[in-house]
Structure 1
């Protein structure tokens, strides 16, 4: 209790000194207390620990260091809003020697797959405001000199959807260390950040990309404000908000809310109960010193990467891959969760499988409601494997069985995987790339079952958030909406209708466009799409989209090239007469209806053409500009089958005719060869007669009659050919009548 008496005495003396100005500091004994606190801070017994594993709290941090050295207290800095760890914290040891030994021993030590970094926390200098200002300026200058240039890109088009796509715009200027597209509620915010190695490269990037137009938007590129400047502005705003608090001169610590929260929880178990104002002064000073010196490291970890450059690029790759591997081995993914499940309920439910580190319920970013899925991370990997191994497997129902909402009681006899009457599905958690591949595969399987290909109805739709939507006129918007509603109503009303994979329907065509111009436009669309992808203005086709052509797509494409055929199978513009009836374009008596069709040889060509032509601007003869409406054509499956049967029959007949014609031609050549030999010049005939006479004398009289027989056969074949020509002419005349 003597410590409590001293504490209360100090508090009483401080209040008396405030009421009585004549009472000096020496009389109260506060000077000795402050000198002791200053000496304690100058011992440098506090450590600054960064690169902490996820999910680490104050107790875990203290337990980790207490295995090697005696720990006074430990604190993990958490985010004010999310209350989750920011990846760094402070540990105060018994003396300065332990702090130095801990830095030498535990620096770069492995902890849950991450390599932690340890530094001695420097006490904040409180001599004068000028000294503080000079220290801050020098530190800021050093940080700016070491920090890679960071650029902010505004007015981004919505076609740039991923950080990889954003980095492609700057790779030609230098190595892109980091690219980010901020989002809000799952939607892009229209700007992004790119960090490029080298100031010269950043200058070239600003000069080259700034003012560049992509998808109708002019990009604005500038240097991003550094984190230190941003923090300084935030501190000034915070000082204005806390203007009601009593100032304490240059010794006021602007500690964040996380410190106050930690002070309240740690004061219960401390040896000395002190007033709130004097509690953990050393921790406040260390944390304030960190906020001044190390904030930029925590923001983008660029300084940490520069320190690790000495170990080689391979070591950096191993370090970046370790957290993902470690997290996945002990984490399971759960489906079919009740929508009312909370994180605490999920953690408690799976605790009977083993110790659970954390549990998270997935929420939809748009609706902000539970998605029916979640993640559970176990402390031990074997517990996660046992949970997955013993989980009931979903069995496909028989083809003749009817669907039921009731759960099969035999599926989970123990009840360990049943939550609120729902049978949970447990699987191994995977990283983002594998999850994206699995999603694409499942999407492809669902689309394979969609025989009518209704998912292609959305191709060609332009959403209101797209920059292309702002370029459409009101009449074009109305035309698109009416077309979408009509197509949806039409295909749902008739089950025989389906969406074509290779045939496009184009509307809003200029009236002077014919089939020839449309076919040329279809070819240019493929070239334009490929050019846009190469220059980074468009996304290329995905693996799933390329796989829709089937397994024999490469072989068919090879045969097409061998035959010398183009990628456009047919291009047709619909014409009408003055009475409004359809007429053939070749008649020249009609006018265009303003729509047509393009048929490509494969689906991926058609998809490329659609995405380029949809919204593509054209000019009519009067100079009026209009944008095309490109959609996949709706076809009747019965009509398509009849058309294919007719095409196959026609191809078969043409092959038979060609074969018969070739055989007849060969026969005629064989038959006409002797007769042609007789119709030579007179000089040659005389020679032949002489030779024939000489040969007849040698071989006998049988050879003399052969030329006469050949001549008679030739006359007979000519008569047959004339009869055939006469029959064809008569048949043609009858058909015209």
Structure 2
């Protein structure tokens, strides 16, 4: 359109009505020249082009106020063939430090000419046709932010059928997974408008839906073109603390220079920080300096202990350490390139050193501040959770022998009137409840990565569990103590619950399901008040765990040997088991002795419990006497 206007400004032969033969010839010999420097003049442009072909005249369009070139103009050659050759030869040639862009000049019709009248008639006709087509379209609504409980188009229709007759409903999905939005087509536009007004912003199963008119994909893409942003100065950060925010990361990296933005990556499944993020610098020099000084990943050494926590030998000046964690910084790549690397790299990533301490599980059990569950917590419970997170972080930082268990959970803020039997029943209920929530669409199922996290050890444990025919809960233990603060067994009856305990599941899969269902689960305490459980993966000592596993392995081997020998234990020298009457008598003697020992231990425990109860009553009597005085 700009070209046509400029031709009219400089073409002296242009008049109302169709162009004359002379003007048509002139147009074929003229080139429209773009990207002229501000210093260009009619003479300088004519001199430049006349060095190659004969030029009739050249015109540079200037600004009326500044009298400087507006960056474009026209050149008319004496011959039409010269104009064609000049366009092919001189396009992108340098002139005054800028590369010229040449096009054949096109005419335009003057205002009021026949061409304009025809154009206006055509535009009005097209507008009427578009309005008619739009009116004939069936009124279609798009519903966004749908809850996962709506799994079929019929369920979606039920929520809108009260507003009028529905012609069609659709719930898009990709490979069986819902996309979180749907479409409703009404028979009447009036009914669709009413549904949009009344349903927009309404809550369905805990989620606020958004209702609007649906448009075609082409129209949406025209109205919302993809934004192309220059991300050449963006870095990708790994090993971010799970407590980091966009503001804290931006503030941290402003040490290197001005930052355009900082973004924390959120896990779509858990709606929690994923431990990675992006930072975009304003200046290229600051971006390069940040990458150049970043700590290089060290080669894996078998004797070295890998750690994601602060390491002064890696980050000497502390510029790449945030909340005690050494950050890994790299040049960010495009989404397409990241996808390609993700497909090409699984085999290579398997060989990389893993975090054997499993510190990534420290954040499991944290409730985000923007979660609806967070709003149900009391100030005391929020404080307890914050203190627990700080204490756990301090523990693993101070002792490299500590690691996070995959199968053992630590539960706090428990009702003190709950016993171990009820506790174990709750642990079983958690796994069943999680699976039910997934089926009903209230929760997301565990990801493939989470299911494979336990590895071969989990698969072996699950195989043994199924062989024995036992449940998924290995142990549910509540910690009891006396008035003196000494830990005692629950069966002794001499202690009181401390309000916390441990649950051990047979594999990581069940433990993760149990944690996510139990965490924040409401229970009534002895006073009838509602308390919400604080559930985290337990911290264990690697050496103690190793010894316990070795003992379990030896016990399994011993049971296997006894089973292979027909129930007769072999002697310590490895001789064959004794058979016959003597052997039978020996086995019976061992069994009798074992039963006697068990009986003695039981009697000893009962005597201890009785003694402690007597001592407790005597202390209470003395205390009451003192109070009476």
TM-score for the superposition, normalised by structure 2: 0.50
For 1:224, what is the secondary structure of its paired residue?
Answer: strand
Cα gap change, 1:718 to 1:726, in 2 (>3 Å): same
Give how far 1:560 is off: 2.2
Cα gap change, 1:146 to 1:296, in 2 (>3 Å): farther
* Residue equivalent to 2:427: 522
1:702-713 correspondence to structure 2 within 5 Å: none
Q: For each residue in 1:291-348, what CA deviation from the matched residue of structure 2 results, as whole angstroms up to 9, or x when unmatched? A: xxxx98422689xxxxxxxxxxxxxxxxxxxx9xxx9xxxxx9899799xxxxxxxxx
Correspondent of 1:430 among 326, 336, 339: 336
**For residues 731 and 222 of structure 1, what CA distance do their matches in structure 2 show?**
67
- What RMSD over aligned residues (CA atoms) do the two structures have, in Å? 6.0
- Structure 2 contact 234–279 (Cα < 8 Å) conserved: no
* Residue equivalent to 2:514: 609
* Residue equivalent to 2:143: 151
- Structure 2 contact 262–280 (Cα < 8 Å) conserved: yes
* Residue equivalent to 1:370: 280
Correspondent of 2:212 among 219, 224, 231: 224
* Residue equivalent to 1:572: 477
Give how far 1:643 is off: 2.1
Give how far 1:555 is off: 5.3
Give how far 1:470 is off: 1.0
Give how far 1:523 is off: 1.3
**For residues 561 and 478 of structure 1, what CA distance do their matches in structure 2 show?**
41
For 1:504, what is the secondary structure of its paired residue?
Answer: strand
Give how far 1:599 is off: 0.5
- Structure 2 contact 416–497 (Cα < 8 Å) conserved: yes
Question: Structure 2 regions of 5+ residues with no counterpart?
Answer: 20-83, 85-104, 110-118, 157-168, 238-258, 265-276, 285-295, 305-312, 316-328, 571-576, 608-629
- Structure 1 contact 508–627 (Cα < 8 Å) conserved: yes
1:494-505 correspondence to structure 2 within 5 Å: 494-505=399-410
Give how far 1:512 is off: 1.7
- Structure 1 contact 337–424 (Cα < 8 Å) conserved: yes
Cα gap change, 1:195 to 1:596, in 2 (>3 Å): same
- Structure 2 contact 140–213 (Cα < 8 Å) conserved: no
Correspondent of 2:528 among 623, 638, 643: 623
* Residue equivalent to 2:171: 176
* Residue equivalent to 2:383: 478
For 2:453, what is the secondary structure of its paired residue?
Answer: helix
Cα gap change, 1:93 to 1:443, in 2 (>3 Å): farther
**For residues 170 and 486 of structure 1, what CA distance do their matches in structure 2 show?**
49
* Residue equivalent to 1:693: none
Give how far 1:649 is off: 3.9
**For residues 647 and 5 of structure 1, what CA distance do their matches in structure 2 show?**
92
- Structure 1 contact 176–196 (Cα < 8 Å) conserved: yes
1:563-602 correspondence to structure 2 within 5 Å: 563-602=468-507
Correspondent of 1:299 among 208, 220, 223: 220
Whether 2:447 is the aligned partner of 1:459: answer no
Give how far 1:124 is off: 3.7
Structure number with larger C-alpha Rg: 1
Q: For each residue in 1:492-523, what CA deviation from the matched residue of structure 2 results, as whole angstroms up to 9, or x when unmatched? A: 11111111010000001111212111111111
* Residue equivalent to 1:125: 124
Q: For each residue in 1:256-303, what CA deviation from the matched residue of structure 2 results, as whole angstroms up to 9, or x when unmatched? A: xxxxxxxxxxxxxxxxxxxxxxxxxxxxxxxxxxxxxxx98422689x
Give how far 1:596 is off: 0.6
Give how far 1:556 is off: 4.2
For 1:630, what is the secondary structure of its paired residue?
Answer: strand
Q: For each residue in 1:543-570, what CA deviation from the matched residue of structure 2 results, as whole angstroms up to 9, or x when unmatched? A: 2211111146445434422321111111
- Structure 1 contact 498–637 (Cα < 8 Å) conserved: yes
- Structure 1 contact 440–544 (Cα < 8 Å) conserved: no
For 1:499, what is the secondary structure of its paired residue?
Answer: strand
**For residues 506 and 542 of structure 2, what CA distance do their matches in structure 1 show?**
18
- Structure 2 contact 410–500 (Cα < 8 Å) conserved: yes
Q: For each residue in 1:619-650, what CA deviation from the matched residue of structure 2 results, as whole angstroms up to 9, or x when unmatched? A: 22432111110000001112112222333344
Cα gap change, 1:496 to 1:209, in 2 (>3 Å): farther
* Residue equivalent to 2:40: none
**For residues 170 and 444 of structure 1, what CA distance do their matches in structure 2 show?**
42
**For residues 338 and 587 of structure 1, what CA distance do their matches in structure 2 show?**
57
**For residues 573 and 540 of structure 1, what CA distance do their matches in structure 2 show?**
29
- Structure 1 contact 177–197 (Cα < 8 Å) conserved: no
**For residues 260 and 418 of structure 2, what CA distance do their matches in structure 1 show?**
53
For 1:604, what is the secondary structure of its paired residue?
Answer: helix
- Structure 2 contact 170–184 (Cα < 8 Å) conserved: yes
For 1:149, what is the secondary structure of its paired residue?
Answer: strand
For 2:567, what is the secondary structure of its paired residue?
Answer: helix
1:213-292 correspondence to structure 2 within 5 Å: 214=205, 217=206, 219-221=207-209, 223-225=211-213
By percentage of residues, which structure has more helix? Answer: 1
For 2:452, what is the secondary structure of its paired residue?
Answer: helix
* Residue equivalent to 1:239: none
* Residue equivalent to 1:100: none
- Structure 1 contact 506–595 (Cα < 8 Å) conserved: yes
**For residues 171 and 301 of structure 1, what CA distance do their matches in structure 2 show?**
32
**For residues 370 and 166 of structure 1, what CA distance do their matches in structure 2 show?**
38
* Residue equivalent to 1:141: 135
**For residues 656 and 460 of structure 1, what CA distance do their matches in structure 2 show?**
42
The size of the alignment, in residue pairs, is 409
TM-score for the superposition, normalised by structure 1: 0.44
**For residues 398 and 668 of structure 1, what CA distance do their matches in structure 2 show?**
53
**For residues 643 and 527 of structure 1, what CA distance do their matches in structure 2 show?**
29
